């Protein structure tokens, strides 16, 4: 029997939905799922992979003098930056990593009835994404470690990072015995300043986040949802600026969409990503791409 088709909602799509329904409806996979034919994938921050090596559970107990060259190799040209981070983090990393770069895949409950959400044509809808790291502290509490590359964010705004909280919710949904106590925000500025902020989740916060996500996802699936535009400072970066301008003039943008846009391909699978948990929990395993390195 063929596997039931699944359509994913991601944190990026959720943010797009709240920013502008017109742009979202053109790009979201639960809607038209388009992207410019000339679209280029945005590269990850060059330090991200190196941090995954640094926090790789299977090497956490190794002599750091052995791990450091592997971390710097993964960092490539960003190695001075990453080395500075590693030195800084060594003083505050009072935990043990359980997972790095792991995928979550959560069924979204139907807020208006029983069961889980599905598209009008019957496809299952999942909240999917990838988290940076899950760590456990000495008191056995588990925390999501979330890297934020860019300028520091005001603490009050950090508390509103719904993508981070939703990923914690999704992880508990994916593994029902998981319990996440909070988020460790790991802020890394481009100039090489680092800061860590602890957000302890209130009791019920994840359940509330899940209900909120479910409400929004149900709206996304509503065939009668009004798809109005929301012009604003985000428009210059919008990949649908040209068809949007046509629509604003009351014109048909379908020819332009057919000519300059294509269906979005599935999310690319990355090395080691098959199976959903990239560099799992095994204490002795080596990240696949470093398996041949001298240790
Ligand atoms: S250009 Fe602005 S208003 Fe138009 S679809 Fe894009 S984000 Fe929305």
Number of domains in the chain: 1
Q: Which domain holds residue 144?
A: 9-43+94-276
Give the pLDDT score at 4: 58
Say whether pLDDT at 270 is over 70. Answer: no
Say whether pLDDT at 232 is over 50. Answer: yes
**C-alpha of residue 232 to centroid of ligand 1, in Å:** 8
Establish if 293 belongs to a structural domain: no
* Residue 55 CB–ligand 1 contact under 6 Å: no
Give the pLDDT score at 267: 64
Say whether pLDDT at 269 is over 60. Answer: no
Establish if 181 belongs to a structural domain: yes
CATH number at 258 reads 3.90.320
Round to whole Å and give the CA distance between 168 and 134: 10
Give the pLDDT score at 1: 42
Round to whole Å and give the CA distance between 108 and 14: 13
For residues 123 and 230, which has the higher predicted lDDT (pLDDT)? 230
The tens digit of pLDDT for each residue in 193-216 reads 999 999 999 989 999 999 999 999
> What percent of the chain has a predicted confidence (pLDDT) above 70?
89
| Backbone torsions φ then ψ of 209, nearest 5 degrees | -60, -40
Q: Write down the pTM of the prediction.
A: 0.84
The tens digit of pLDDT for each residue in 112-121 reads 888 999 988 8
Cβ contact 147:97 at 8 Å: no
Say whether pLDDT at 133 is over 90. Answer: yes
Establish if 62 belongs to a structural domain: no
**C-alpha of residue 228 to centroid of ligand 1, in Å:** 9
Give the pLDDT score at 44: 76
Say whether pLDDT at 145 is over 80. Answer: yes
Q: Rounded to the nearest 10 degrees, what angle do helices 205-221 and 162-174 cross at? A: 100
- Residue position matching structure tokens 């902020």: 197
Say whether pLDDT at 19 is over 50. Answer: yes
Establish if 87 belongs to a structural domain: no
Round to whole Å and give the CA distance between 180 and 169: 8
- For residue 254, the number of C-alpha atoms closer than 13 Å in the C-beta half-sphere is 1
Establish if 59 belongs to a structural domain: no
Establish if 4 belongs to a structural domain: no
Q: Residue 21 CA: which ligand 1 atom is closest?
A: 8
Average pLDDT over residues 240-267: 94
- Residue 178 makes CB contacts below 8 A (sequence gap 6+) with 142, 171, 172
Establish if 72 belongs to a structural domain: no
- Residue 175 makes CB contacts below 8 A (sequence gap 6+) with none
Round to whole Å and give the CA distance between 211 and 278: 28
Give the pLDDT score at 185: 97
- For residue 225, the number of C-alpha atoms closer than 13 Å in the C-beta half-sphere is 21
Establish if 283 belongs to a structural domain: no
**C-alpha of residue 10 to centroid of ligand 1, in Å:** 19
Which residues partner with 116 through β-bridges?
109
């Amino acid at each position: 029997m063929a596997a039931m088709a699944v359509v994913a909602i991601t944190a990026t799509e959720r943010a797009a939905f709240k920013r502008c329904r017109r742009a979202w409806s053109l790009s979201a996979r639960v809607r038209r799922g388009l992207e410019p034919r000339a679209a280029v994938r945005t590269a990850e921050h060059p330090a991200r992979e190196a941090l995954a090596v640094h926090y790789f559970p299977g090497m956490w107990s190794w002599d750091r003098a052995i791990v450091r060259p592997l971390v710097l190799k993964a960092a490539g040209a960003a190695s001075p930056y990453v080395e500075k981070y590693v030195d800084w983090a060594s003083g505050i990393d009072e935990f043990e990593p359980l997972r790095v770069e792991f995928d979550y895949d959560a069924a979204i409950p139907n807020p208006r009835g029983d069961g889980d959400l599905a598209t009008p044509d019957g496809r299952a809808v999942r909240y999917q994404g990838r988290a940076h790291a899950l760590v456990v502290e000495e008191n056995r509490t588990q925390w999501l470690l979330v890297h934020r590359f860019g300028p520091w964010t005001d603490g009050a705004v950090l508390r509103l990072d719904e993508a981070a909280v939703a990923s914690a919710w999704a992880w508990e949904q994916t593994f029902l015995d998981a319990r996440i106590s909070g988020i460790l925000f790991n802020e890394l500025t481009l100039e090489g300043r680092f800061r860590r902020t602890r957000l302890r989740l209130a009791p019920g916060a994840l359940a509330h986040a899940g209900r909120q996500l479910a409400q929004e996802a149900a709206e996304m699936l509503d065939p009668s949802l009004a798809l109005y535009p929301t012009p604003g400072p985000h428009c210059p970066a919008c990949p649908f600026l040209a068809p949007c301008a046509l629509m604003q003039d009351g014109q048909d943008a379908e020819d332009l969409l057919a000519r300059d846009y294509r269906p979005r391909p599935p999310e690319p699978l990355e090395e080691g990503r098959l199976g959903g948990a990239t560099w799992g929990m095994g204490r002795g395993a080596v990240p696949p791409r470093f398996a041949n390195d001298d240790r």
